C-alpha cells in the first residue's frame, strides 16, 4: 500500500471510528483483487470471497461499513440485498465512496504503481446512491465529505483536511464521500410497535402549571410514566408536584428534586430514573402543547426518525410567544447547526425532544467525548445523537405564549453561551475526526 493510500485509509478509519457505538458491534466489508473481505470490531476475519457468501456470517451487527464497494459492483441492488441477514431494525449502514472528480487521478496512480485490483467503474451521483438504497427499502439520511489532501504533508495536510475541507463549496472537492443509511420500517402502515413512555417535565418556578400540564397529557403508548423534576424554585413548584402525585394516583407519577443546577442537569437526573422505552422532554411552561406528544410518539414508533426534535419555527406563533431577537437568534443558530450536523435542523432550542431509552444509554456512554458542557441539555442530546449516527428529524409544533410565570432564559447571556457551545462543537465534530 502506498504512502498516500495508507494516509487516506487511516483518516477514513478514524472518521468511521468516530461513529462507533460504545459496546456496539461493527462489520467492515471491503474488496480488492482477492475478492471480498469482512471483519468485525473484535478483529475476527470472515472468509467471504463473493457477495453471495455474506449471508453465511452468523450474526447481525449494530453497524455495517461498505468501503468503496458501490463503485465496483455490477449489481448494487443485489449487493445491498445480501446485507439483509446481517442487519437488525436499528443497524446503521455507512458507505464510503471516492469522489468521481478524483477518478482519473486514482486510475493514473494505480497504473503508475502497477496495481491490478478493481478500480472505480460506476459513475454514481448522490441522487443515484439515494435512489438505489430506496429501491432496497433503505434511506440515506446523511451525506458527508472528508479529505481534500490525501497526502501526509506536515502542516499543510492538517490545514487543508481540517479547515479548508469543511468550507462550503470547497468541501465538494473532497476525495471521500460517506453515506449514512438505515432500513425503513417493515411494519404495516398504521401498526407501529407499542412502547412504554417516560415523560420528563423539568420545572423551575412553574407552580401554576403543574396540575394543568398533567391533565392535558393524552394517553398513548403501552404504559406511561410521568417524571416531574423540580429545579431550585422560589415558588411552590415542589409542593404542587407532591400535591398532584397524591391527588392523581391513577397516574404513574414520580417527583424528583435535582441535585445540581440547570435544565440539562435536571433532564439527565430524570432520565436516570426513567424506565420507559421512549424518553420525552416536555417543558413545564406549556409553550409546546402536551396534546402534541402523540405526534412525537408516532414519529419514533413508526421510525420516521431516531431522534425527534420539536420545531417551533414553522407554524404561526401566538403573540408574545417568542421575542423578536430570540426569533432572529433561533434562525441564525438553525443555519449554524444545520451546517455542523450535515442535515437540516430548523429549531435547536425547542425543549421537546424524544428518543429511545436504549439510544440515550449509548449516548450517555459517549458523553465523555463532548464533556459536560451544556447547561440547557438540548445540544448534549443533539450532538450525542449525531455521533451515534441517528437520523434527526424536525416535528413542527405550535408555539404558545406562557400563561404563568416568567421565562428562565436570559436572551443575551444564554445566546453567548450557545455561540460558545457551537464553536466548541465545530472543533469536536468538524476538525477532530
Say which CATH number the domain at 127 has. 3.40.50
Q: Is the pLDDT of residue 431 over 50?
A: yes
pTM: 0.85
Asked if the structure places residue 317 within a domain, the reply is yes
Q: Which three cell numbers, joined as nine digits, stand for 25?
A: 458491534
Q: Which of 183, 206, 223 is the last residue of a domain?
A: 183
Q: Do residues 115 and 215 both lie within one domain?
A: no
Instruction: State pLDDT tens for residues 324-347.
Output: 566 677 778 788 888 888 888 888
What are the residues whose beta carbons fall under 8 Å from the beta carbon of 374, sequence distance 6 or more? 264, 380, 421
- Mean per-residue pLDDT, 294-316: 91
Q: Do residues 228 and 126 both lie within one domain?
A: no
Number of domains comprising the chain: 2
> For position 243, which CATH number holds?
3.90.550.10
Q: In the prediction, which pLDDT does 395 show? A: 94
Q: Which of 138, 158, 183 is the last residue of a domain?
A: 183
Q: Do residues 156 and 255 both lie within one domain?
A: no
In angstroms, the CA 30 to CA 38 distance is 6
Q: Do residues 170 and 258 both lie within one domain?
A: no
Q: Do residues 426 and 290 both lie within one domain?
A: yes
Which parts of 272-329 are beta strand (E)? 278-281, 307-311
Q: Do residues 306 and 179 both lie within one domain?
A: no
Q: In the prediction, which pLDDT does 326 show? A: 65
Q: Which three cell numbers, joined as nine digits, stand for 301?
A: 414508533
What are the residues whose beta carbons fall under 8 Å from the beta carbon of 85, sequence distance 6 or more? 54, 55, 57, 60
Asked if the structure places residue 188 within a domain, the reply is no
10 Å CB burial of residue 354 (0-12, 13-18, 19+) is buried
Q: Do residues 97 and 175 both lie within one domain?
A: yes
Asked if the structure places residue 174 within a domain, the reply is yes
Q: Is the pLDDT of residue 116 over 60?
A: no
Q: Which of 183, 210, 235 is the last residue of a domain?
A: 183
180 membership: H or E segment, kind and range? strand 176-183
Q: Do residues 329 and 203 both lie within one domain?
A: yes
Query: DSSP string of 96-120?
Result: EEE-GGGHHHHHHHHHHTT--S---
Share of the chain above pLDDT 70, in %: 85
Q: In the prediction, which pLDDT does 413 show? A: 65
Q: In the prediction, which pLDDT does 189 show? A: 46
Asked if the structure places residue 189 within a domain, the reply is no
What are the residues whose beta carbons fall under 8 Å from the beta carbon of 310, sequence distance 6 or more? 288, 292, 296, 347, 350, 351, 352, 353, 394, 395, 397
Q: Do residues 147 and 278 both lie within one domain?
A: no
- Mean per-residue pLDDT, 166-191: 81
| 121 Ramachandran zone, left/alpha/beta (phi>0; psi -120 to 50) | alpha
Q: Do residues 127 and 167 both lie within one domain?
A: yes
Provide the residue range defining the domain that includes 142: 3-183
10 Å CB burial of residue 288 (0-12, 13-18, 19+) is buried
- Look at 47-51, 274-278, 286-290 and tell me which has the smallest mean pLDDT: 47-51
- Mean per-residue pLDDT, 40-51: 78
Q: Do residues 164 and 252 both lie within one domain?
A: no
Q: Which three cell numbers, joined as nine digits, stand for 7?
A: 494516509
Q: Do residues 119 and 59 both lie within one domain?
A: yes
Highest mean pLDDT among 93-107, 297-311, 396-410: 297-311
Asked if the structure places residue 366 within a domain, the reply is yes
Report the half-sphere exposure of 150 (CA within 13 A, side-chain side): 21
What's the gap between Cα 430 and its chain centre?
15
More confident position, 325 or 257 = 257
Q: In the prediction, which pLDDT does 370 show? A: 84
Please, which pLDDT band fits residue 61 given cuts at 50, 70 and 90? very high
Asked if the structure places residue 109 within a domain, the reply is yes
What mean pLDDT value characterizes the chain? 85
Amino acid at each position: 500500500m502506498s504512502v498516500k493510500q495508507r494516509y487516506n485509509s487511516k483518516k477514513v478509519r478514524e472518521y468511521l471510528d468516530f461513529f462507533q457505538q460504545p459496546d456496539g458491534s461493527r462489520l467492515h466489508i471491503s474488496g480488492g483483487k482477492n475478492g471480498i473481505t469482512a471483519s468485525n470490531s473484535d478483529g475476527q476475519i470472515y472468509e467471504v470471497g463473493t457477495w453471495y457468501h455474506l449471508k453465511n456470517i452468523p450474526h447481525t451487527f449494530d453497524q455495517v461499513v461498505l468501503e468503496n464497494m458501490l463503485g465496483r459492483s455490477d449489481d448494487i441492488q443485489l449487493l445491498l440485498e445480501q446485507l439483509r441477514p446481517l442487519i437488525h431494525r436499528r443497524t446503521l449502514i455507512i458507505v464510503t465512496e471516492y469522489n468521481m472528480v478524483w477518478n482519473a487521478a486514482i486510475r493514473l496512480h494505480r497504473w503508475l504503481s502497477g496495481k491490478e485490483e478493481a478500480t472505480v467503474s460506476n459513475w454514481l451521483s448522490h441522487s443515484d446512491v439515494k435512489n438505489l438504497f430506496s429501491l432496497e427499502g433503505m434511506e440515506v439520511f446523511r451525506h458527508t465529505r472528508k479529505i481534500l489532501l490525501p497526502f501526509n504533508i506536515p502542516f499543510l495536510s492538517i490545514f487543508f483536511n481540517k479547515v479548508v475541507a469543511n468550507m462550503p463549496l470547497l468541501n465538494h472537492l473532497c476525495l471521500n464521500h460517506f453515506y449514512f443509511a438505515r432500513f425503513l420500517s417493515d411494519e404495516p402502515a398504521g401498526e407501529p410497535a407499542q412502547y412504554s413512555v417516560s415523560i420528563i417535565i423539568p420545572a423551575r418556578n412553574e407552580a401554576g402549571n403543574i396540575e394543568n400540564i398533567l391533565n392535558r397529557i393524552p394517553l398513548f403508548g403501552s404504559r406511561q410514566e410521568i417524571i416531574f423534576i423540580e429545579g431550585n424554585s422560589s415558588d411552590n413548584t415542589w409542593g404542587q408536584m407532591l400535591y398532584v402525585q397524591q391527588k392523581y394516583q391513577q397516574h404513574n407519577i414520580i417527583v424528583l428534586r435535582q441535585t445540581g443546577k440547570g435544565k440539562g442537569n435536571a433532564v439527565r437526573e430524570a432520565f436516570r430514573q426513567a424506565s420507559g422505552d421512549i424518553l420525552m422532554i416536555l417543558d413545564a411552561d406549556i409553550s409546546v402543547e402536551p396534546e402534541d406528544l402523540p405526534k412525537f410518539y408516532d414519529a419514533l414508533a413508526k421510525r420516521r426518525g431516531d431522534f425527534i426534535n420539536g420545531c417551533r419555527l414553522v407554524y404561526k406563533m401566538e403573540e408574545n410567544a417568542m421575542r423578536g431577537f430570540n426569533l432572529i437568534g433561533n434562525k441564525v443558530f438553525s443555519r449554524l447547526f444545520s451546517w455542523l450536523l450535515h442535515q437540516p435542523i430548523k429549531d435547536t432550542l425547542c425543549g421537546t425532544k424524544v428518543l429511545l431509552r436504549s439510544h440515550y444509554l449509548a449516548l450517555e456512554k459517549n458523553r465523555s467525548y463532548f464533556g459536560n458542557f451544556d447547561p440547557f441539555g438540548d445540544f448534549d442530546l443533539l450532538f450525542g445523537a449525531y455521533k451515534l449516527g441517528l437520523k434527526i428529524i424536525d416535528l413542527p409544533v405550535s408555539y404558545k405564549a406562557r400563561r404563568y410565570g416568567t421565562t428562565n432564559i436570559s436572551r443575551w447571556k444564554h445566546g453567548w453561551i450557545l455561540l460558545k457551545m457551537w464553536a466548541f462543537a465545530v472543533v469536536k465534530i468538524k476538525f477532530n475526526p
